[in-house]
Amino acid sequence: MIRRVVIENFKRFDRVEFSLPGHLVVAGPNNAGKTTLLQAIAAWSVALTRWKELNDFQRHGGWYTKAPIARQAFSAVPLRAYDLLWRDRRYQGTIGLTVQTDDWTVKMELEADSTEQIYVRPDRSVDPAHLRDITLSTVLVPPMTGLSTEEPVYQRPKLDQLLGQAKPGEMLRNLLLEAHQSETAWRDLQSAIRRLFAYELLPPDGSRASIVSEYRTQNGTQLDVASAGSGFQQVLMLLTLLNARPGSVLLLDEPDAHLHVILQDAILSELRAVAARRESQLIIATHSEVIIDAADLRELRVLLDRPVMVADDSQRQVVLDSLRVLSNEDMMLALVSPGVLYLEGHTDLEILRAFARALHHPAEALLTTEVFWRPVVAEGPGGGTGIKARDHYDALRLVKAIPAL
């Protein structure tokens, strides 16, 4: 089970560290870096797996041998060029990805080469004995996409590639075929679908050119899984992966997508129960208020500028409020501005600028080009109900790095 993750020079992160007490629920608004965390762990796994294929576990001149990975074989992140992995697209130096468990710590380095290839190897400090024995399976699960009308039988590398390309809708039937090969996994999957949807999941048929996978409704009608709603397909994909691949670290990107409120509450409980039976670990990225509210406080982190542990129920409420209150613009401005100024309206700001200009006051530059200001009753990020200055300020304080707060 993963206990700590350190990400360096990867996409939006310069250096960030996450501690994991067990399962982890990472909450935050859009573009805060939640998916980047999941992709970093998946990239670590891809890099280690590819490097181990060299079957050379000794250092040479103090360093481990480098293994190349072509862009098309990099299944952790959908990329058109490798420079998109590097922070601010500065395609030089190395990316550092560290994963720590109860038994070992392994840092993998990703070294820039060309836009179509990188090199990977463990950091020189990693114990060779750990590298030889490590077995940690990770599965990055993006939100469900539309199912293809026809789906042939794929081999495991192709399935991993489709997941990395965020195309789970093109492989759901293959996952069902994989789950059906285990009597325990299939029985548990059928039971969960019956309990959540009152449908009977029928055994898939992989003997034809395209896989046939159907379910039976309460009135006895048999339908293809492509005929089901997106919420059913989302839950089916999540539970199939959990049951078909035991002992894995499941990296779930917005598992609440397509689900109504009641089912959002039920799915977290179901995922935790299945993970316990299958000895898997869940790392969940979400901005669902229902999942945040249902998560164990020890497992909840809020990601704004950096991960923050949620101490108690009152702070959990602040997290929920911040998702309603803060826009991405708020966080961006707060991190580069010396403070936040609350005014009745834009006219007040113009008056202050005029005073500063008339008095030749040094605050003129601040008020003209650098000020981060909001009305004392501001409109929410999606419009609608106004937000009081105090509530807006309290939400911003979750971002500890904001100067002057």
Listed by start position, the domains of the chain span 2-156+246-323, 326-396
* Alpha-carbon separation of residue 59 from 66, 109, 347 (angstroms): 11, 15, 67
Would residue 191 be called left, alpha or beta, if left means φ above 0 and alpha means ψ between -120 and 50 degrees?
A: alpha
Would residue 384 be called left, alpha or beta, if left means φ above 0 and alpha means ψ between -120 and 50 degrees?
A: left
The SS3 assignment for 133 reads helix
Q: What is the mean pLDDT of residues 2-6?
A: 95
**Does pTM surpass 0.85?**
no
Is the pLDDT assigned to residue 403 strictly greater than 50? Answer: no
Closest CA to 367 of 354, 379, 376: 354
Beta-carbon count within 10 A of 124 CB: 12
- The two three-digit tokens of residue 106, written as one number: 């392994």
Higher pLDDT, 397 or 97: 97
Q: What is the mean pLDDT of residues 188-195?
A: 94
In eight-state DSSP terms, residue 86 is: B
Q: What is the mean pLDDT of residues 321-343?
A: 74
**In contact, 376 and 389? CB cutoff 8 Å:** yes
Tell the residue number behind the tokens 């601010």, with chain if given.
88
Is the pLDDT assigned to residue 405 strictly greater than 70? Answer: no
Q: Class for domain 2-156+246-323, per CATH? A: alpha beta
- The two three-digit tokens of residue 97, written as one number: 């990805």
E strands in 73-217: 94-101, 105-114, 117-122, 137-141, 200-201, 214-216
Closest CA to 134 of 94, 107, 164, 158: 107
Closest CA to 174 of 189, 159, 191, 193: 159
In this prediction, residue 44 carries a pLDDT of 96
